[in-house]
Structure 1
Amino acid sequence: MFVIGSGAKHLEDEMRQLGAEIIEVELRKFPDGEKYVRVMGSGSEATVVSSTFYPQDERILELLLIGDALRERGFEKLRAVVPYFAYSRQDRVVKEGEPVSVRAVMRALGLYYDELYVVDIHNPRTLSYFPGKAINVSPARAIAEYFGEKLGEGLVLAPDKGALGRAKAVAELLGVEYSHFEKRRISPTEVEMRPVEVDVRGKNVLIVDDIISTGGTMIKASSILRKLGAGRIFVGVTHGVFAEGAIERVSKAVDELAVTNTIPTPVSRISIVPEIVGLQSARE
């Protein structure tokens, strides 16, 4: 059985269409702004689904309150599915006195939840901070299915070496080449980007990554690919954390921009709902 938090209300209709059994939960605020949660069903196991996009802190607290409410109702095993996990990029101390924020959030969730499932977390190694079972769910199938026919015999690129695994996963499903962009500093103020060991001339290209915010890297990559003679250029990203105006800027630079629906945006055209519902089926 699933419980849908406020960060996954945009996924609820599709989840129902795919046969998900959903426990109703009342979510509202008191006049002073404090959150109110009431679980309307009962059982022994439940999977709580909610992304933690803006307002991040409120949605994280809501996950904790739902977990407490379910435990109070007698649920013995709880799973949290957090398609977009806020604070995932704050995964190390840069300046003395800082927290490892993703660790703090995972440890807090571990007070209530036995298992944690995250879609394409920024740094998979951070899942070790969760005290129970933690799984990184790949969106590769969904991205490959969406872009497959459009890409044709093209290739898949990662914007940097760190994202190469994502490009590889999508490319192998499509049976095409993959590589990444290499960045080389040529002056104190200028960085050169270039695809590594692949010829893009006349080929369609799909650039994949986990998060897109300002879109600056994608715009630069697209400009380089155009100069190298690439065909159509697509951008497929898991989490659309868009800064103001980023969707318009990137959309003008490429032939198509599409992200998954871990966060609701105007370009959330790729659904990860089958992966979420499939988690339940895999356990049955």
Structure 2
Amino acid sequence: MPRTTEPKLISGNANMPLAKAIARRMSLHRGVNVGLVDARVERFNDGEIFVEVYENVRGEDMFLIQPTSNPANDNLMELLIMSDALRRSSAKRITAVIPYFGYARQDRRAKARTPISAKLVANMIAEAGIERVLTMDLHAAQIQGFFDIPVDNLYASPVFALDIKHTFKGRMGELMVVSPDVGGVARARELAKRINSPLAIVDKRREKAGEVAEMTVIGDVKGKTCLIVDDICDTAGTLCKAAEVLLENGAKEVHSYITHGVMSGPAVERVSKSVMKSLVLTDSIAPTSPITKAENIRIVPTAPVFAQAILNIWNGTSVSSLFEQDTLGPIYDGMYETE
């Protein structure tokens, strides 16, 4: 079959700025223009999604960029329908680039008579003709096992480590990484190891979803600059409360590094009025206008690491090499200083 010498990118409507940024980065790496495949993704009056691809994709290695963020159902259906359109157009392989994997928090049956929606979504993705998934910071690592196709799970911690070493240069000795709950200890420990910092935990007890009844700090945070690390910030209630508890326990100041800024409802207002000095998010979910206008919220780009991961998949080379700072540092070409 005829095949171009470059990978082909196509994007849904969920995060077009990130898709364009990935295309720009790939163009720089390849030395040729890598653009997004021309297509239209529209809705009929009753909300049904319609997709039409204007370019020939027969025999091509396609990378479909679409986080399944809010509105999760619409963006998920866009992903599935676009994949079906590409499969029926004889694309050689379809890789779904899902920077934020929605429904990931429904990864187990916490109570009787509840679904495991993450597994259902995995089945739907595979059935739609997608042969590989590239994502970042899955809420639970075992979700990779829900798929019967290869899943590459990138980590934000190497990018965060670069940002921290740049932002807190000369103050690294006073940093302490904090997990906002026991379940996120492995993620926090990974970052703490990268920046050679101690680790603390905020143990929380919930009465019901969205409400935190009690918090206890495990570890000595007195005089420390605390960095709260988590994968998702939804309503920001837990995050803001954890920052208050850390300061009450003697922390000097509190910053937060969160991979996916879901930022539902009052989240932005809560963060703006909170005691946190800063909240750092990635652009895995397209930031809204209130997020970009908030003085204490900052966005770090993921396009460089996603662009390189796509090229590695296309070339058949290692994706896990991007987990190391020595490999990742040059990709961010001077944005952060490396040691």
Same fold (TM over 0.5): yes
Q: Does residue 46 of the first structure (1) align with residue 62 of the second (2)?
A: yes
Equivalent residues in 2 for 1:8-157, closer than 5 Å: 8-20=15-27, 21=34, 22-41=36-55, 42=57, 43-111=59-127, 112-151=129-168, 152-153=171-172, 154-157=175-178
- Unpaired stretches in structure 2, ≥5 consecutive residues: 1-7, 28-33, 207-211, 292-296, 316-339
CA spacing shift, 1:218–1:9, aligned 2, 3 Å: same
Partner of 2:329: none
2:169 corresponds to 1:162: no
Alpha-carbon shift at residue 77 of structure 1 (Å): 1.1
Unaligned runs of 5+ in 1: none
Q: Is the 8 A contact 2:215 2:245 kept in 1?
A: no
Residue 23 (structure 1) shift: 1.7
Between the aligned partners of 2:167 and 2:122, the Cα distance in structure 1 is 38
Identity of aligned residues (%): 28
8 Å CA contact 2:9, 2:23 repeated in 1 = no
Partner amino acid, structure 2, of 1:90: Q
- Say whether 1:281 aligns with 2:311: yes
Distance 1:206 1:149 in 2: 14
CA RMSD of aligned residues (A): 2.0
1:231 aligns with 2:252: yes
Q: Call closer, same or farther: CA 1:228–1:98 in 2, change over 3 Å.
A: closer
Aligned residues: 279
**Residue 145 of structure 1: how far off its partner (Å):** 2.2
Q: Do the aligned partners of 1:184 and 1:193 also contact (CA within 8 Å) in 2?
A: no
Q: Check 1:25–1:220 CA distance in 2 against 1; reply closer, same or farther (3 A cut).
A: same
TM-score, structure 1 as length reference: 0.91
1:190 Cα deviation after fit: 5.0
Name the aligned partner's letter for residue 26 of structure 1: R
> Structure 1 254/110 Cα, relative in aligned 2: closer, same or farther at 3 Å?
same
User: Which runs of 4 or more aligned residues in structure 1 lie more than 6 Å from their structure 2 counterparts after TM superposition?
Assistant: none
2:51 and 2:106 map into 1 onto residues whose CA distance is: 28
Q: Would the aligned equivalents of 1:116 and 1:135 in 2 still touch at CA under 8 Å?
A: yes
- Answer with 51-60 or 17-26: which moved more: 17-26
For residues 34 and 219 of structure 1, the distance between their equivalents in structure 2, rounded to whole angstroms, comes to 38
1:139-173 deviation line (CA, Å, top 9, x unaligned): 11222222333343212111122111221222222
